[in-house]
Amino acid sequence: MVGAIKAVVTGATGLLGQALVKTLLAEGTEVHAIARPGSFRNRRLTGEPSVLVHEVDLSDLRSAVDKLPNDVDVFFHLAWAGTAPAWRNDARLQESNIACTLDAVELARAVGCRVFVGAGSQAEYGRVEGLVSPDAPCKPETAYGVAKLCAGQMSRLLCNEYDIRHSWARILSLYGPYDASTTMMSCLIATLLSGRAMELTRCE
């Protein structure tokens, strides 16, 4: 692995994280996955010699500095608490994610990262008529969307201060392996595969 690109990935056991880790490994990247201590999902990362798993709670991210090399190239921050619909308007829980995102930037700086990539959300836009574009105004309607928008903007300011390149990817919808079956697409696929019809709105 001498000379290999090194990446840190939080949220590496999730739907997006798993796909990212597989892509990074295919490109020869050395992956340092930060995972929740004791989570049953952590076994998804075993068996890959180029993945080093570091069990660190999201609220204590900066303590991971002693577990990581000091020459990491890129930091992918995908972890987020309270993504299920029942928690999307829990203002205190969502607020804690903003602090965790800023802690992720501090950790990225401490381990020498030149690039920070965060996972935003379509919830930052709120309801949009027609196609969504990156230039659409952001009018979030949930605590989750407000916190994602704030985390993206605040982490950008901090990265600029530390001369770290910042990228905030607003992800619209995902489905696939390890999906918790809470998205419209995953529910639709499961329903059709079972031979049942699914009631839908006009999907506007």
Confidence (pLDDT) at 181: 61
* Average confidence (pLDDT) over 36-64: 84
Backbone φ, ψ for residue 123 (5° rounding): -65, -20
Residue 34: the pLDDT is 93
Residue pLDDT, tens place only, 58-115? 999 999 999 999 999 999 999 999 988 889 999 999 999 999 999 999 999 999 999 9
Rg (CA), the chain: 18
Indicate whether this model's pTM tops 0.75.
yes
Q: Which amino acid is at 11?
A: G
Place of tokens 């992956």: 31
Q: Higher model confidence: residue 13 or residue 49?
A: 13
Comparing 7-11, 48-52, 95-99, 110-114, the range with the smallest average pLDDT is 48-52
- 9 has pLDDT over 90: yes
The single residue listed with the structure tokens 């490994």 is: 25
Distance, CA of 184 to CA of 14 (rounded, Å)? 17
Under DSSP, is residue 160 helix (H, G, I), strand (E, B) or coil? helix
Q: Report the percent of the chain where pLDDT is more than 90.
A: 64
* Lowest model confidence (mean pLDDT) among 8-12, 39-43, 83-87: 39-43
Pairing of strands 51-55, 74-77: unpaired
CA angle 54, 55, 56 (to 5 degrees): 105
Q: Residue for token digits 């340092």? A: 32
8 burial (CB, 10 Å; 0-12 / 13-18 / 19+) is buried
**Residue 74 β-bridge partners:** 7, 115
**pLDDT tens digits for range 129-158:** 888 888 899 999 999 999 999 999 999 999
Q: How many residues does the structure list for the chain?
A: 204
Residue 37's pLDDT is what?
86
Q: Which of helix, strand or coil describes residue 18? A: helix
| Cβ–Cβ under 8 Å, residues 51 and 57 | no
